[in-house]
Amino acid sequence: MPQPLFDLTYANLPDGLYTLYQPEPAPDPKMVFLNNGLAAELSLDQDWLRSEDGLNFLTGQQPGDITPIAMAYSGHQFGGFSPQLGDGRAALIGEILDGDGIRHDIHLKGSGRTPYSRGGDGKAALRAVLKEYVFSESLAALGIPTTRSLAAITTGETVERQKMHPGAIVVRTAQSHIRVGTFQYARLRQDESTLKALADYTLERLYSQINGANPYAQLLTQVIDRQAKLVAKWMSFGFIHGVMNTDNMAISGETIDFGPCAFMEAFRANQVFSSIDRRGRYAWNKQPEMAYWNLTRFAESLLPLLHTDEDKAVAIAETELAKFSTSFSGAFNELMLAKLGLGTDAENAGAFLQATLSLLTTTQTDFTLFYRRLTDSVQTSDNSTFLALFTDPARAKQWLNTFSKQSPNPEIMAVNNPIYIPRFAQVETALEAAENGELSKIKQLLDAIKKPFDEHEAYANLVKPNQQKGIPQQTYCET
């Protein structure tokens, strides 16, 4: 079982953008989950990944010529700027080309202190590792661009957060871990050659289709478009990222860093789950605004490359940023209407979508169940299970009468309205059980969310909201 061909092109950038870093050895590494499907996509030998050499690689102890690195970046965190953040408990340990020639990072979290740890222990608790595994795989199955979880590995240590937890490492992949904060950090150095090197590398790696005049303006355009469409997809499934800081926005347009994230259940447009988001900065309905805010910071970082004349550079940035609203609105309306089995050309489509959101707001109906039971009702011509969602179904019946006249397409609805999402209480229960050595609940949850549109009787317990009392609807970064 020879080791796959890994390299590390990011280390060819100016060394100010990273620090060479040797992850701490795991005393007793054990594979908890290996993502066989993702391994196959990356042409990685599953037997090798499970071998002693594979575990050494996946915990950052690999032999060979590659020296892992901790990436440097800045970040606005809840609006406040931190000039130096960086990988405080993570390492980029390699890159690999998939069968289509697309480069992917192999990046681990939880391997110990780095030069950017800022007093933290650099470790990760098993529950945080498994949470990232569940949510990243759920988003991937829903067709939302995201980092992926390749493996979850226990280290044989314990780490202290609110209490003692088993220590673990999550090994994740992404087309890149370059963030808005990476560009902020490069700009802060006031070294245009470093900024240009980072931008050129990003263009070559992620946006190789860009050519012609002013590629940096085109880079800004493409990143704006990807982020607008990403946030629209999040919202169409009720996903709330929870911590949309600039260091948590990937230039690739992938969802990155799963801390206080969750899927909204009862519909509240201003829903917040994060324990530290006391002012609702990253609520469900604020995510487009915050994406635009972050992209403005990205544009500011690119100004020296957009034009040598600062006023002209600002004008270019403002022109490109103005496109965000159109990109987001177009994507959001299309996705939300698809959930209703309608196209954007349907008569009064926009007004009907607003009426739908108004119904959800007034009734605070479960977001996922609303659309899925509506799908079932269209497929079976039986509205009873849909109307059962409402305490007072009178308004829902009125809405349903209007909806039925729209000629919804049930096939479109079926592929846009999942049955299974990682519901809050179910995730908490599964994580608690996993930390106590019982993996059956987390395995069942993973099996269900990896095929979210396919109904299986064995997963019936995962369809309805968990009414278990005593589990607060609040999430934590757990870093």
Contact by Cβ (8 Å): 35, 171: no
Q: The tokens 């805010």 sit on which residue?
A: 293
pLDDT beyond 90 at 118: no
Question: Rounded mean pLDDT of 58-84?
Answer: 90
pLDDT tens-digit series, residues 22-57: 999 999 999 999 999 999 999 999 999 999 999 999
The fraction of the chain above a pLDDT of 70, given in percent, is: 96
Res 473: pLDDT: 64
Task: With cut-offs at 50, 70 and 90, classify the pLDDT of residue 224.
Answer: very high
Q: How crowded is residue 284: how many other Cβ atoms within 10 Å of its Cβ?
A: 23
Res 3: pLDDT: 80
Res 249: pLDDT: 98
Structure tokens at 208: 């190789």
pLDDT beyond 70 at 426: yes
pLDDT beyond 60 at 150: yes
CA gap 183, 357 in Å, rounded:
37
pLDDT tens-digit series, residues 123-134: 999 999 999 999
Res 476: pLDDT: 59
CA gap 90, 129 in Å, rounded:
12
Whether 105 is a known active-site residue: answer no
Res 286: pLDDT: 96
Question: Rounded mean pLDDT of 268-295?
Answer: 92
Q: The tokens 């599953």 sit on which residue?
A: 46
pLDDT tens-digit series, residues 172-202: 999 999 999 999 999 999 889 999 999 999 9
pLDDT tens-digit series, residues 319-376: 999 999 999 999 999 999 999 999 988 888 999 999 999 999 999 999 999 999 999 9
Q: Which of 105, 121, 247, 257 is catalytic?
A: 247
Res 359: pLDDT: 97
CA gap 82, 60 in Å, rounded:
28
Q: How far is CA 456 from the centre of its chain?
A: 26
CA gap 42, 258 in Å, rounded:
22
Res 161: pLDDT: 85
CA gap 151, 129 in Å, rounded:
9
**What own/partner pairs with CB < 8 Å and gap ≥ 24 does 403-407 have?**
403/340, 403/352, 403/374, 406/340, 406/341, 406/342, 406/346, 406/347, 406/352
| More confident position, 235 or 468 | 235
Would you say the C-alpha torsion 276, 277, 278, 284 has a positive or negative sign?
A: negative
Res 470: pLDDT: 42
Res 471: pLDDT: 45
Q: What is the mean pLDDT of the chain?
A: 94
Res 475: pLDDT: 62
Res 469: pLDDT: 43
pLDDT beyond 70 at 474: no
Question: Rounded mean pLDDT of 145-173?
Answer: 95
pLDDT tens-digit series, residues 306-322: 999 999 999 999 999 99
pLDDT beyond 60 at 477: no
pLDDT beyond 70 at 164: yes
